[in-house]
Every structure is written in structure tokens, then in C-alpha cells.
Amino acid sequence: MKLFKQTGLFLSAALLTFACGGPSETVETSEAKEVAEATGQALNLDMDATTISWRGYKPAGQHFGKIPATEGSLMVTGDEITGGKFTFDITGLKIEDLEEGSENYGKLWGHLQSPDFFDAANHPTATFEITGIEPFAAGDVIADMEQFETDNTPMSASELSPETPTHWISGNLTMRGTSKNIKFPAAVAMENGVVSAKAGFNIDRTEWGLSYGDEANAVDKAKDQFIYNTVSLMLDVKAN
């Protein structure tokens, strides 16, 4: 089935993160790219069937949760996706490893909303807009790069990736007022007018100005006094 053109644009979903690990193990990141005009029928994001998860790491532990999508659509012509854009609510971020309403939950949630991280008062939403797609070829490799080893080393790129990727997706991820283009592997399918996509990858949070506890500035990593710059994102998206 011809789901995408090599020159076409893909579906979208990507997202934000929380605090954690160096530029190794992350998706290809570059300056924001021009978005081609999309044509065709709009498919709306199915909010009940869409999950966007994040996981952050530090030597002493991990935190994980979800950030809700508030709106989004894909543009489809026949069985080809020609574009798409999604918006995410930073103020709706959930932390799933802590009890909601507890003191620790409140402290971490407030810190993530603060200027140390997302600066949600000035940038309450984030967006992802498709800029390109190409097939995931048989010989393509998802490279696993070295990270500083601790009891909570971030998950590797190959661990996070879908078992059988079908495409490389590119798009502009905008958060905290900064736009960067990211490229990651995804497993995409279309059936009975429903588009589904699964992806898992790492980003370097400091590319978007989330630099609190920057790993690169740790004078003595042996003291574990840093937060990994790497954040893992796991996407399970449906639109119909």
C-alpha cells in the first residue's frame, strides 16, 4: 500500500519533555525547515486513542508521564498524507511516577512549569508540524551512541524505536519559543480511513533552552549532580 510519497509530508506527533541527558542517543536535530502547503481531506486527531509519553533521567532516578494533545489534524489525499500539525498543552503535563496531589508531585510539576524548564507562563503550548517523510529502507540503522553510565542511563534509540519502522518522519518541534526540526523512525499504517503511528526516540532538551542541571556543565559527573539532557518520547497516535 502506498501510504506516503517520498517527497510528501507525514503525520505528526512529537512532543515535549522533561529534564534529562547529552546529545548522544538523540534524534537528528537541525534548524526549523519550511513547511509545504498541504492539500486534501483533514483527519482529526483521536484524543482518546492518542498517547504521548515522556521519560526523564538523572543518575539517582527517573520521572515519567504524559503531555496531552489539545488539537491536531492530518491532511490526506487518497492514501497519501500531505501534511499535519499538532498542539500540546504544557500546563496539562502529568507525572505518573508520583501521586498526584502529593507534596513531591507539586514541587516537580511546578519546577517543570517554571522558567528553569518549559516557562509555561509565557509558552503554555508546544507544536509539531510535518515537513517531510522518506521510507525506512531495509539497510537503515538506528544508531545507539554512548552515554554516561549510571543506574539510570537513558534508554537507547534502538530500545525506543518501533520494532518494524516504516518511515523516517521530519517535522518542526516548537516549545519554549524555539523551533527545531527533528527526524525520527516511526511505524505508520492506514486502514479504513484511520491513520495510526507509533514512534519512540530521544531528544536533547537543551536544544530548546531547557537547560536546568545541564549535563554538559557537570564538573564532576561521579558525584551524580546533574540531570541527563536526554529525554525519551513515546508516541502512539491515531487520526480519523
In the chain, the domains with their CATH numbers are: 28-239 (2.40.128.110)
Contact 72, 86 (CB under 8 A): yes
For residue 213, is pLDDT > 70? yes
> Strand, helix or coil at 133?
strand
> Which of these, 176, 211, 203, lies nearest to 90 by C-alpha position?
176
Q: Is 33 exposed, middle or buried (0-12, 13-18, 19+ CB in 10 A)?
A: middle
Q: What is the reported pLDDT for 188?
A: 87
**Amino acid letter for position 40:** G
Confidence of residue 4 (pLDDT cuts 50, 70, 90): very low
Separation of CA 51 from chain center: 11
Average pLDDT estimate for 27-40: 79
For residue 23, is pLDDT > 50? no
Give the number of other CB atoms < 10 A from CB of residue 159: 13
Q: What is the reported pLDDT for 26?
A: 56
Q: What is the reported pLDDT for 144?
A: 84
Q: Which residues contact 192 (CB under 8 A, 6 or more apart)?
A: none
pTM, whole model, 2 decimals?
0.84
For residue 145, is pLDDT > 80? no
Higher pLDDT, 4 or 183: 183
Sign of CA dihedral 80, 10, 135, 55: negative
**Most confidently modeled range among 7-16, 96-105, 168-177, 225-234:** 96-105
**Amino acid letter for position 176:** R
